[in-house]
Structure 1
Amino acid sequence: MTHAYDALTALFDGEGGQEYLGEQVSMAQHMLQTGRAARAEGAPTELVVAAVLHDVGHFSGAVSGRELMSGNDNHHDAVAAEWLSTWFDDAVTEPVRLHVAAKRYLCATDPAYYDKLSGASKFTMSVQGGSMSDEEVEAFAAEPFAEAACRLRRFDDLGKDPAAPVVTLADFRADIDALDRTLQG
């Protein structure tokens, strides 16, 4: 079986170099910057790895990230969580699965949050369902990984700086390997 780091290296070195949905960084740099933000905030290793990997669902599947920008939701959150479950437990995959819902939740519960989103993120949120209803807010808040997903979402917003120092997937290898079930004896 291929280990997580090897599979991820292929993605980050290939499709990861593509533009990131209307942002000024590549998809890989966005995810790596998100991971750096999580690490800088002292997030647990599971959340750092989730931050690094949260958008891998844009890399594959029937609907690409470009189609999301054309108005078709690619459900990249669920696609990523499912794919990552090959190697990682819920502490990594669930914040990834919930990170789009977290954006919708934060917009519904913190009106100032919406104003902080990039133009591309505001657009994709409209495609992904817009702000949550009161019922959706209640259901999301009851999710076991809701708080972690909201933290991931805030790190996500920090991962779009074209002037940030370069970070690589290798900078996160020890964390990825430590959580990869296929490497555990």
Structure 2
Amino acid sequence: MTVRDRTKLDAESIVDFIADIFDRRGADSYLGEAVTMSEHMLQSAYLAEQVGADDSLVAAALLHDIGHYTSEFPPDAQDQGIDNRHDVAGAAVLAPYFPKRVTDCVRYHVPAKRYLCATDPGYFARLSEASVLTLKLQGGPMSPSEIEDFHKLANLDDILRVRIWDDAAKVAGRATPSFAHYAPLLQRMVDSHRTG
């Protein structure tokens, strides 16, 4: 199954679809970082797992950047000064299959960076060079009114946790489990969402 086949997705095939993305595209460069896309997403999930996060947060950490593969924007969109809105694209493709807690963390992980830049004086200094570049494309630090609106999100604490793991998941050579380790967890989430 390819990304273009997503109209054929269902609860039985979504995890295989995601596995296929990791297999085919996981070695893609991660926006100038020292890790590949799959290394980054697997590191995020591993960091969540290491602190005892529940299945929803591990899934959200693993899938937070899946929108880089579902968006219709070209791969060099950032070079053209275009924000590919991978957060919104990723949440949209996952929404039929995963709980809102997961998709909220995916949908709002970019605004979470903007929020933390506006509210935590030391946060910006911890961003990688590539993340500073994307921050500019994504609108920069939030305004006071945006912060006020962001505070109203039901899953705010979880969204911020996923953002922190996202920022820390850029270490070259860090050993992590493979996607296959997380596939059963993802299927449990999908099955629970389907019957819930």
Same-fold call, TM > 0.5? yes
Q: What displacement does 1:63 show? A: 1.2
Measured in 2, the distance between the counterparts of 1:81 and 1:75 equals: 10
Q: Deviations over 1:9-48 (max 9, x none)?
A: 1100112211100101110110010000111111121011
Q: Is the 8 A contact 1:16 1:59 kept in 2?
A: no
SS of aligned partner of 1:172: helix
Higher relative contact order (CA 8 A, sep 6+): 1
Partner of 2:126: 116
Give every structure 1 segment of 4 or more consecutive aligned residues whose post-TM-superposition deviation is greater than 6 Å: none
Partner of 2:146: 136
Measured in 2, the distance between the counterparts of 1:167 and 1:66 equals: 29
Measured in 2, the distance between the counterparts of 1:73 and 1:147 equals: 25
Picking from 150, 154, 172, the partner of 2:160 is: 150
| Counterpart AA for 2:124 | Y
Partner of 1:78: 88
Q: Deviations over 1:66-110 (max 9, x none)?
A: 312432011100000000112111011011100000000001000
State how many pairs are aligned.
185
Picking from 10, 24, 37, the partner of 1:14 is: 24
Measured in 1, the distance between the counterparts of 2:38 and 2:186 equals: 15
Distance 1:183 1:75, change over 3 A: closer
Measured in 2, the distance between the counterparts of 1:148 and 1:63 equals: 28
Unmatched tracts of structure 2, length 5 or more: 1-9
Picking from 6, 14, 18, the partner of 1:4 is: 14
Q: Is the 8 A contact 2:99 2:193 kept in 1?
A: no
TM-score normalised per structure 1: 0.94
Identity of aligned pairs, percent? 38
| Counterpart AA for 2:16 | D
| Counterpart AA for 2:57 | L
Q: Over aligned residue pairs, what C-alpha RMSD do you find? A: 1.6
SS of aligned partner of 2:154: coil
TM-score normalised per structure 2: 0.89
Measured in 1, the distance between the counterparts of 2:172 and 2:25 equals: 18
Q: Is the 8 A contact 2:64 2:87 kept in 1?
A: yes
Unmatched tracts of structure 1, length 5 or more: none
